[in-house]
Amino acid sequence: MTRETPSPAELAVEVRDLHKWYGEFHALRGVELAVAPGERIVVCGPSGSGKSTLIRCINQLERHHGGIVRVNGLEATAEPRRLEAIRRAAGMVFQSFNLFPHLSVLENCTLAPVRTGTATRAEAEAHAMALLARVRVADQAHKRPGQLSGGQQQRVAIARALCMRPKIMLFDEPTSALDPEMVKEVLDTMIELAGEGMTMLAVTHEMGFARQVADRVVFMDQGQIVESGAPGDFFAHPQHERTRAFLGQLLH
């Protein structure tokens, strides 16, 4: 699939020469990534390869030490207002759901829109109920997260992120903590979201999902992007030995 290269201002995410250290450990070594609006990218790679660190640097849950991160045209600086704006533009779904256990499902969804002043309570509740219906958990809206199954909780987490009307959705291994029978319901929700044109950047090992929805698959190892390509090419003709080794382990 070929696209015209959009100018930086039009990119949903732009990462240039990104470096990140944890103490002495060089976790990201000059990562370059551009995500166009509407594009769907799957990031895969062995554990410790820096894929989670990469998306956590994109919404600035982790500060980077070198290079440039731009989300929706906003460059990440240390300025708190700027960081908040970037995080509103980039919705995040975590491996461990991280729903707020002291709030109802509906309150989980309305907390941020109401408290950041992007919506009135009535608007936020109407929007949240519509999104909860879309991820098929509207009937659970007044329960606490602890009363829901893992799959339901992760779908609530997706709805909660969507409540901030993000320009891009980041997924950090969204199905890795789920019981096997619940993986599909979460993937189906993500596939629907992709079908609606949402820009997505997902760290996942669900290669079926990658084949079905990704425009591009990015393979990372040792803090670098080793190769990337359209899923057809990527899975059929991996260029690098490390990619082949990784895919070989995955497909067995």
Partner 1 sequence: MTSAAIPAPPRPARGPAALAAKLFGSPLNVVLTLAVAWAAWSLAAPLVRWAVLDAAVLPAEPAACRDISGACWSFVVAKSGQILFGIYPIEERWRPTLVCAVLLALLAYSLRPAAWRPRLAALWAAALPGVLLLMFGGFAGLSYVATTMWGGLPVTLILTVTAIGGAFPLAILLALGRRADLPVIRTLCVLFIEITRAMPLLSLLFIASIMLPLLLPEPLLPDKFFRAMIALLLFAAAYLAEVIRGGLQALPRGQAEAARALGLGYWGVQRFVVLPQALALVIPSLTNTIIVMIKNTSLVLVVGLFDLISSGRAALADPEWSSPAMETYIFIASVYFALCFGFGRFARALERRAETTP
Site residues for partner 1 per CB under 8 A: 59, 61, 80, 84-85, 87-88, 90-92, 94, 96, 98-102, 111-112, 115-116, 144, 146-147, 157, 160-161, 164
Residue type, 5: T
Buried b (16+ CB within 10 A) or exposed e, 7-40: eeeebbbbbeebbbeeeeebbbbebebbbbeebb
Q: Which two tokens stand for residue 184?
A: 């599909």
Q: How far is the CB of 35 from partner 1 (least distance, A)?
A: 17
Q: How far is the CB of 12 from partner 1 (least distance, A)?
A: 16
Specify the residue, 34 or 85, whose C-beta has the smaller distance to partner 1. Answer: 85
Q: How far is the CB of 164 from partner 1 (least distance, A)?
A: 6
Q: Which two tokens stand for residue 41?
A: 């990218």
Specify the residue, 108 or 204, whose C-beta has the smaller distance to partner 1. Answer: 108
Q: How far is the CB of 171 from partner 1 (least distance, A)?
A: 12
Rg value, the chain, Cα: 18
Specify the residue, 53 or 243, whose C-beta has the smaller distance to partner 1. Answer: 53
Specify the residue, 142 or 252, whose C-beta has the smaller distance to partner 1. Answer: 142
Q: Which two tokens stand for residue 210?
A: 């990658």
Q: How far is the CB of 1 from partner 1 (least distance, A)?
A: 30
Specify the residue, 22 or 100, whose C-beta has the smaller distance to partner 1. Answer: 100
Q: How far is the CB of 72 from partner 1 (least distance, A)?
A: 12
- In angstroms, rounded to a whole number, what is the distance separating the alpha carbons of residues 238 and 5? 23
The torsion angles phi and psi of 33, rounded to 5 degrees, stand at: -155, 135
Specify the residue, 85 or 129, whose C-beta has the smaller distance to partner 1. Answer: 85
User: What is the CA 197 to chain-centroid distance, rounded?
Assistant: 14
- In angstroms, rounded to a whole number, what is the distance separating the alpha carbons of residues 223 and 30? 8
- In angstroms, rounded to a whole number, what is the distance separating the alpha carbons of residues 26 and 212? 33
